[in-house]
Structure 1
Amino acid sequence: MVLWSRTLHAGGVEDEPLRADYTAVAQYVARVEPLSYPAMRTVLPPAWQPHVLAALAFAKHTDDLADLPPAHRHGGRFHAWAEAVAHGLTTGSSPYALVRAFLHTVAVNGVPHAQIHDYLAGQAGNLSFTGYATDEDYYRCLHSVTVPYLALPCISRRPGAANRINHSLLRIVADAAQRVDDLADFAADLRLGQLHFPQTTLTRFGITRADLESGRQTPAVRAFVAHACQQARTVMDIAQDALRRADAEEQLLLRPPLVAKQHLLGGIERQGADIIRRTVALNILPAPTELLDGALRTLRARVRVATLRARS
């Protein structure tokens, strides 16, 4: 892992106040993403790291303001943040360190303002979320919130990255990650009055929200959870296959978070219907063969990226 001061230099961040803003960004991501942060600091090229972290910090803070339980939502806070971001995009300045760092990344790496506004609009729509009526509602939220969340760090990594975005890959990786997260957070979401599974699916299995909130593992509940796990596993397998065929830069960006979700899904499958009663813990000790395969794939991707950069 390269020293943070050298990472900032590699990323072209030389102005001292701006370096302080990016340092605040790194501290924020380390706090809210304690598993992802070390992986990004270790795997990503140093020149990308300040910018990927700035985009992730912006996306995460925006998501946290919008994705609150119904009883704790405060639309005013979200809209004040969105207005501050929009004002910053216009003026180039902001009172917030997270926004100032992100604005610099947007400017130097050519991140389209339209994509930022689209993400803010998608999250604004999330303020009124009460549940999915149908699968179509789930996919609508996926495309307006989850995919843009994943895309922002990808298109912020370096100049020109926004022109090379692989939308189909992002969609399938976002779908896999979202399905795993919804299963892992099942018990916590129920306690907070949220449910991230379509009502049409519950009806098909003959269960109600009250059945899930009661924590009873009836045959119908077990069948529903098994079905949701199988859906997540199918999408995860498709995402893993798509990532194997992706270019080196995409593999460096997306493999670490997808591997984490894959291991989390394994824990979910082992826990079964008990996920409606207790939160799933991430297994951070993959099998030696999986660890070696992941390390070799990451190393090959790092070498390919370094070779391409040397030729350009």
Structure 2
Amino acid sequence: MPSWRTTLTAAGVSGSRLRDDYTHAARRVLRREPAPYLALRMLAAPPLVPCLAAGLAFMNLVDDVAETGTPQQRAAGLAALSERVEAALKSGDSPDPLLRAYAHAVDSRGLPPYWVSRFLAGAATAEAGFDGFEAEEDFQAYLDAYALPGVLVFTGLQYRGGPDEQQAAGWRRFVDAAQRVDFLADLCGDLADGRLCIPRARLAEHGVTRADLEQARDTPAVRALLAAECRRARTALDDTRGILDLAEPGLRPVVSTMTELMAHQLTAVERAGVAALRRDIGYGPAAPLRILVRAARRRPV
């Protein structure tokens, strides 16, 4: 793995201020999401790493603002952030080093600002005002409004000029699977925070109440509901096949690794069953390292 300085140089990032900006963004990702950061550093082509690190840092920043505080605080925070982002994208400058790095990444890679504005709009509506899903159609609308733009403000930077229609459609399938797995893995924590992320119509189909889930009742109906949700997630994960062909060659090892981690986490949820209502299901300490090391060994030199 090349040094960070060498990586910045390989990406054409010059000037001490800009290099410091990208370093700030990368450190933020490392603190918040060490597994994706290590995957980028170890597996992605060096010219792609700084811009993708800045993209992931930006995605995390918006997520954090959209999920912190009261609804009024979230709305105010996102409105203020949107103004700062718009100014940074227009001028290329900002008091915030993260936004400076991200604005440079968007400009240098040619990502259409449409994806950024769509993500911020979705954060202010679909995420900040989240009240669960009535049916599958509402979940799909959430993906279109928030989850897909959120992924493309990050992964879209791999493509010069942004993703084309086929590439965006491939990432839409990826997001569908990733969001289902994430919601299942975080069932316990989400319920504790007052968020029910399984469509209410599907609870009704199985004769399950929200209280059944909140109290982690081990009943045949609850087990059947969770098993059905896992099957949906598994089908969505199977539908992501082909995403590697749509990714840039320099990012394919990362995408493959993240897909493998997602499959590992879903398997853990399937095995946990009703226990997923009592504790969130993470990757565990060993699996990410094992998968990363295996992927690094497969990566062409």
Do Structure 1 and Structure 2 share a fold, with TM-score over 0.5? Answer: yes
Would the aligned equivalents of 2:244 and 2:255 in 1 still touch at CA under 8 Å? no
CA–CA distance in structure 2, aligned partners of residues 89 and 290 of structure 1: 36
Higher deviation after alignment, 94-103 or 152-161 = 152-161
Would the aligned equivalents of 2:171 and 2:243 in 1 still touch at CA under 8 Å? no
- Identity, in percent, stands at 34
Higher deviation after alignment, 148-157 or 277-286 = 277-286
1:246 shift after superposition: 4.0
Secondary structure of 1:14's aligned partner: coil
Deviations 1:117-138 (A, max 9, x none): 1111111112111111111110
Would the aligned equivalents of 2:66 and 2:128 in 1 still touch at CA under 8 Å? yes
Deviations 1:24-57 (A, max 9, x none): 0010000111111111101001110000111111
Match of 2:262 in 1: 261
Match of 1:29 in 2: 29
Would the aligned equivalents of 1:10 and 1:47 in 2 still touch at CA under 8 Å? yes
Match of 1:238 in 2: 239
CA–CA distance in structure 2, aligned partners of residues 167 and 15 of structure 1: 33
Deviations 1:125-178 (A, max 9, x none): 121111111111100011111111221222213533444861221011111111
1:283 shift after superposition: 3.9
Match of 2:168 in 1: 167
Match of 1:182 in 2: 183
Q: Which runs of 5+ in 1 are unaligned?
A: 304-312
- The reply on whether 1:109 has 2:106 as its aligned counterpart is no
Structure 2 counterpart of 1:189, which letter? D
Structure 1 counterpart of 2:212, which letter? D
Match of 1:192 in 2: 193
CA–CA distance in structure 2, aligned partners of residues 75 and 55 of structure 1: 22
Structure 2 counterpart of 1:26, which letter? A
1:67 shift after superposition: 3.0
Would the aligned equivalents of 1:229 and 1:269 in 2 still touch at CA under 8 Å? yes
- The reply on whether 1:129 has 2:120 as its aligned counterpart is no
Secondary structure of 1:229's aligned partner: helix
Q: Which runs of 5+ in 2 are unaligned?
A: none
TM value normalised by structure 2: 0.91
Would the aligned equivalents of 2:143 and 2:175 in 1 still touch at CA under 8 Å? yes
Alpha-carbon spacing, 1:70–1:267, altered in 2? closer, same or farther (3 Å)? farther
CA–CA distance in structure 2, aligned partners of residues 243 and 294 of structure 1: 17
Would the aligned equivalents of 2:78 and 2:120 in 1 still touch at CA under 8 Å? no
Alpha-carbon spacing, 1:69–1:237, altered in 2? closer, same or farther (3 Å)? farther
Secondary structure of 1:169's aligned partner: helix
Would the aligned equivalents of 1:135 and 1:198 in 2 still touch at CA under 8 Å? yes
Match of 2:276 in 1: 275
Would the aligned equivalents of 1:69 and 1:193 in 2 still touch at CA under 8 Å? no
Match of 1:306 in 2: none
Match of 1:8 in 2: 8
CA–CA distance in structure 2, aligned partners of residues 73 and 267 of structure 1: 35
Would the aligned equivalents of 2:180 and 2:233 in 1 still touch at CA under 8 Å? yes
Match of 2:88 in 1: 88
Would the aligned equivalents of 1:110 and 1:162 in 2 still touch at CA under 8 Å? no
1:257 shift after superposition: 1.7
Higher deviation after alignment, 31-40 or 163-172 = 163-172
- The alignment covers a number of residue pairs equal to 298
